[in-house]
Amino acid sequence: MSLPVQYHYGKFPPKNIDWMRLVPLIGPANAALARYDGTLAAIPNASVLLSPLTTQEAVLSSRIEGPQATIGEVLEFEAEGETKDISQARKADINEVLNYREAMWSAVEMLADLPLCQRVLKATHSILLHGVRGHGKAPGEYRKVPKE
Protein backbone atom coordinates (compact mmCIF):
# COMPACT_ATOMS: atom_id res chain seq x y z
CA MET A 1 0.00 0.00 0.00
CA SER A 2 1.35 3.44 -0.86
CA LEU A 3 1.67 6.24 1.65
CA PRO A 4 -0.60 9.31 1.48
CA VAL A 5 0.71 12.27 -0.47
CA GLN A 6 1.33 15.28 1.75
CA TYR A 7 0.19 18.01 -0.64
CA HIS A 8 -0.10 20.66 2.07
CA TYR A 9 2.64 19.39 4.35
CA GLY A 10 3.94 22.36 6.32
CA LYS A 11 1.59 24.77 4.50
CA PHE A 12 -1.73 24.15 6.23
CA PRO A 13 -3.21 25.76 8.14
CA PRO A 14 -1.82 28.98 6.70
CA LYS A 15 0.22 31.08 9.12
CA ASN A 16 -1.55 34.32 8.20
CA ILE A 17 -5.22 34.60 7.27
CA ASP A 18 -6.47 37.82 5.69
CA TRP A 19 -9.62 38.07 7.83
CA MET A 20 -10.49 41.52 6.52
CA ARG A 21 -10.87 40.03 3.06
CA LEU A 22 -12.70 36.88 4.19
CA VAL A 23 -15.20 38.16 6.78
CA PRO A 24 -17.39 40.04 4.24
CA LEU A 25 -17.72 36.79 2.24
CA ILE A 26 -18.90 34.65 5.17
CA GLY A 27 -22.37 36.24 5.47
CA PRO A 28 -23.35 35.86 1.78
CA ALA A 29 -21.96 32.30 1.69
CA ASN A 30 -23.93 31.39 4.81
CA ALA A 31 -27.12 32.92 3.33
CA ALA A 32 -26.67 30.98 0.09
CA LEU A 33 -26.24 27.71 2.00
CA ALA A 34 -29.34 28.47 4.08
CA ARG A 35 -31.39 29.11 0.90
CA TYR A 36 -30.13 25.86 -0.61
CA ASP A 37 -30.92 23.95 2.57
CA GLY A 38 -34.39 25.51 2.64
CA THR A 39 -34.99 24.54 -0.98
CA LEU A 40 -34.01 20.94 -0.30
CA ALA A 41 -36.18 20.81 2.83
CA ALA A 42 -39.21 22.06 0.87
CA ILE A 43 -38.91 19.38 -1.80
CA PRO A 44 -40.49 16.07 -0.78
CA ASN A 45 -38.01 14.14 -2.94
CA ALA A 46 -34.66 15.94 -3.19
CA SER A 47 -33.41 13.39 -5.73
CA VAL A 48 -35.66 15.16 -8.26
CA LEU A 49 -32.98 17.86 -8.38
CA LEU A 50 -30.28 15.25 -8.90
CA SER A 51 -32.03 13.26 -11.64
CA PRO A 52 -30.93 15.48 -14.56
CA LEU A 53 -27.38 15.48 -13.23
CA THR A 54 -27.27 11.69 -12.95
CA THR A 55 -28.68 11.39 -16.47
CA GLN A 56 -26.02 13.77 -17.76
CA GLU A 57 -23.32 11.79 -15.93
CA ALA A 58 -24.70 8.55 -17.40
CA VAL A 59 -24.64 10.01 -20.93
CA LEU A 60 -21.07 11.29 -20.60
CA SER A 61 -19.70 8.19 -18.87
CA SER A 62 -21.35 5.72 -21.23
CA ARG A 63 -19.68 7.44 -24.20
CA ILE A 64 -16.44 5.86 -23.02
CA GLU A 65 -17.87 2.51 -24.15
CA GLY A 66 -19.27 3.84 -27.41
CA PRO A 67 -22.94 4.88 -27.06
CA GLN A 68 -23.56 8.33 -28.52
CA ALA A 69 -27.02 9.15 -27.17
CA THR A 70 -27.55 12.74 -26.02
CA ILE A 71 -29.23 13.79 -22.79
CA GLY A 72 -32.08 15.23 -24.85
CA GLU A 73 -32.64 11.91 -26.63
CA VAL A 74 -32.61 10.03 -23.33
CA LEU A 75 -35.13 12.39 -21.70
CA GLU A 76 -37.35 12.36 -24.79
CA PHE A 77 -37.25 8.55 -24.91
CA GLU A 78 -38.26 8.37 -21.25
CA ALA A 79 -41.10 10.85 -21.76
CA GLU A 80 -42.49 9.21 -24.89
CA GLY A 81 -41.56 5.57 -24.36
CA GLU A 82 -41.40 3.36 -27.43
CA THR A 83 -41.53 5.45 -30.60
CA LYS A 84 -41.14 4.17 -34.12
CA ASP A 85 -38.93 7.02 -35.36
CA ILE A 86 -35.89 6.03 -33.26
CA SER A 87 -33.42 3.69 -34.91
CA GLN A 88 -32.58 0.41 -33.19
CA ALA A 89 -28.97 1.53 -32.82
CA ARG A 90 -30.00 4.76 -31.09
CA LYS A 91 -32.46 2.88 -28.89
CA ALA A 92 -29.66 0.52 -27.85
CA ASP A 93 -27.46 3.52 -26.98
CA ILE A 94 -30.28 5.05 -24.90
CA ASN A 95 -30.86 1.77 -23.07
CA GLU A 96 -27.18 1.61 -22.15
CA VAL A 97 -27.42 5.12 -20.68
CA LEU A 98 -30.58 4.18 -18.75
CA ASN A 99 -28.85 1.07 -17.40
CA TYR A 100 -25.88 3.18 -16.33
CA ARG A 101 -28.14 5.51 -14.40
CA GLU A 102 -30.08 2.65 -12.82
CA ALA A 103 -26.82 0.94 -11.82
CA MET A 104 -25.59 4.18 -10.25
CA TRP A 105 -28.75 4.60 -8.13
CA SER A 106 -28.71 0.93 -7.19
CA ALA A 107 -25.11 1.21 -6.01
CA VAL A 108 -25.99 4.25 -3.91
CA GLU A 109 -28.82 2.29 -2.25
CA MET A 110 -26.62 -0.75 -1.61
CA LEU A 111 -23.80 1.37 -0.19
CA ALA A 112 -26.18 2.70 2.45
CA ASP A 113 -26.12 -0.80 4.02
CA LEU A 114 -22.97 -2.41 2.66
CA PRO A 115 -19.32 -1.43 2.34
CA LEU A 116 -17.82 -1.18 -1.13
CA CYS A 117 -17.43 -4.89 -1.78
CA GLN A 118 -17.65 -7.57 -4.46
CA ARG A 119 -21.39 -7.94 -3.95
CA VAL A 120 -22.00 -4.27 -4.75
CA LEU A 121 -19.64 -4.32 -7.75
CA LYS A 122 -21.11 -7.49 -9.24
CA ALA A 123 -24.73 -6.40 -8.74
CA THR A 124 -24.00 -3.02 -10.32
CA HIS A 125 -22.24 -4.65 -13.28
CA SER A 126 -25.20 -6.97 -13.78
CA ILE A 127 -27.60 -4.00 -13.97
CA LEU A 128 -25.23 -2.17 -16.31
CA LEU A 129 -25.27 -5.01 -18.86
CA HIS A 130 -28.95 -5.99 -18.58
CA GLY A 131 -30.42 -6.30 -22.09
CA VAL A 132 -27.69 -4.32 -23.89
CA ARG A 133 -24.40 -4.94 -25.71
CA GLY A 134 -22.34 -7.33 -23.63
CA HIS A 135 -25.35 -8.92 -21.92
CA GLY A 136 -24.04 -12.36 -22.87
CA LYS A 137 -20.60 -11.76 -21.38
CA ALA A 138 -21.22 -12.89 -17.78
CA PRO A 139 -22.91 -9.81 -16.32
CA GLY A 140 -22.22 -9.55 -12.63
CA GLU A 141 -19.08 -11.70 -12.85
CA TYR A 142 -15.40 -10.99 -13.17
CA ARG A 143 -13.82 -11.64 -16.56
CA LYS A 144 -12.10 -15.01 -16.61
CA VAL A 145 -10.25 -14.57 -19.91
CA PRO A 146 -8.34 -11.52 -21.19
CA LYS A 147 -10.23 -9.09 -23.40
CA GLU A 148 -9.55 -9.70 -27.06
Q: Where are the domains of the chain?
A: 47-129
Instruction: Give the model's pLDDT for residue 73.
Output: 87
What is each CA distance from 86 to 19, 37, 64, 69, 95, in whole angstroms? Answer: 58, 40, 22, 11, 12
Q: pTM of whole model > 0.75?
A: no
Q: Return the amino acid letter for 124.
A: T
Convert the pLDDT of each residue in 37-73 to its tens digit. 888 788 888 777 777 888 888 888 888 877 788 888 8
Instruction: Give the model's pLDDT for residue 70.
Output: 85
Whose CA is closest to 62, among 34, 33, 32, 90? Answer: 90
Q: Return the amino acid letter for 96.
A: E
Question: Which segments in the chain show pLDDT lower than 50?
Answer: none
Instruction: Give the model's pLDDT for residue 82.
Output: 67
Instruction: Give the model's pLDDT for residue 84.
Output: 67
The answer to whether 55 and 71 are in contact (CB under 8 A) is yes
Query: Quick one: CA torsion of 26, 29, 31, 36, rounded to 10 degrees?
Result: -150
Q: Is the dihedral of CA 56, 57, 63, 67 positive or negative?
A: negative
Instruction: Give the model's pLDDT for residue 13.
Output: 79
Burial class from Cβ neighbours inside 10 Å (0-12, 13-18, 19+) for residue 67 reads buried
